[in-house]
């Protein structure tokens, strides 16, 4: 009897896990392997990690429901509560990862990026809106 219950629970948990993976329940952006490798290399250096088998969350800052990887602005972080979210922008084949985690330094870095990138004015404004929302959310999380 106990054996049947244990097997039943195992089958149920396995089914739920497989369903969740298939449904992408966290609504994360599906990265190509090349982009994932760039982000993992960066984050491993910043967090001083030696393990390659680390999970990472990636979300679209402009439209969290858009799960396709394309030109845009994204946030990413390693799985775990003590890791900071970081921002990166995809512009063609270029991935620009911003080192700064706080708004003053980030804005300087973003300004430098804007000067060298060839983005239309409308895209710059959209990115600034997404950045504003991102830092407001970060502020509220840290101060509430």
pLDDT digits (tens, 9 = 90+) for 116-130: 988 999 999 999 999
Give φ, ψ of 6 to 5 degrees.
-60, -45
Assign 27 a pLDDT band (cuts: 50, 70, 90): confident
Secondary structure element (H or E) that encloses residue 56, with its range: strand 56-60
pTM here is 0.77
Looking up tokens 């300087």, which residue turns up? 108
pLDDT of 52 above 70: no
């Amino acid at each position: 009897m106990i054996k049947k219950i244990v097997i039943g629970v195992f089958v149920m948990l396995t089914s739920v896990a497989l369903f969740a993976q298939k449904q992408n329940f966290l609504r994360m952006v599906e990265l190509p392997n090349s982009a994932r490798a760039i982000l993992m290399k960066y984050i491993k250096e910043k967090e001083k990690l030696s393990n390659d088998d680390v999970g990472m969350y990636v979300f679209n800052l402009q439209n969290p429901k858009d799960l396709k990887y394309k030109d845009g602005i994204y946030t990413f972080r390693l799985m775990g509560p003590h890791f900071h979210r970081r921002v990166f922008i995809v512009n063609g084949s270029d991935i620009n990862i911003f080192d700064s985690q706080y708004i003053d330094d980030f804005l300087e870095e973003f300004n430098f990026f804007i000067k060298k990138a060839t983005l239309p004015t409308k895209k710059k404004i959209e990115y600034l809106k997404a950045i504003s929302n991102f830092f407001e959310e970060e502020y509220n999380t840290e101060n509430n």
